[in-house]
Amino acid sequence: MNIALIHRGSPAMGVVQAPVGGEVWHAVRGELAYRRDGHRDTALRARAPATAPLRVAASRSHRDARTQSVLDRMGQIEEVALGSSLKFCRIAEGGLDVYPRFGPTSEWDTAAAQCVLQAAGGALLAADTGKPFRYNRRESLLNGDFIALGDPDLPWRDWL
């Protein structure tokens, strides 16, 4: 489950709940990101600087030649398979470093998790512009290609 509040085109609040296990991640723009365990919140911080091997969220069901090419250019990596917005949350926790996605997603797939990731120090960037995703700005609710990073200083443009 993903719930986001968008204000002036960017996520102002986000909540992500895992369908299995019920884990909850939440954040408010300008504040910290948290993971709720039972009745306790733990503050999150993405891993920066990221060091080799990079832990990369790579979907096997959405693997295409472009994704494989990017993974090959990253150098030493450890691939981890996970479900959609949970990838962002694992990056926010410091358990993953990178999630490249070249294929359709919808705004509701990314907005809440983007808020959590950014509050933890990471970034969700459009692959073509390098800018954070903006929402409710186009006729379509489909996102373009992106890369999610725990450490925004990683040389991600070299991989594309």
CA distance 128 to 108: 20
CB contact at 8 A, 3 and 114: no
| Residue closest to 145 by CA, chosen among 124, 126, 123 | 126
Where do the structural domains in the chain lie, given as residue ranges? Answer: 2-159
**Is-above-0.85 flag for pTM?**
yes
Before 49, cis peptide (omega within 30)?
Answer: yes
CA distance 56 to 54: 6
pLDDT at 34: 98
Total number of residues shown for the chain: 160
SS3 content of the chain, % helix, strand, coil (to 5): 20, 30, 45
CA 17 to chain centre: 14
Average pLDDT across the chain, whole number: 93
Q: What band does 60 get if pLDDT is binned at 50, 70 and 90?
A: low
Residue holding tokens 């019920």? Answer: 22
CA 113 to chain centre: 6
CATH, range 2-159 = 3.40.190.80
Q: Which tokens sit at 144?
A: 């373009």
Q: What tens digit of pLDDT does each residue of 95-135 get?
A: 999 999 998 899 999 999 999 999 999 999 999 999 999 99
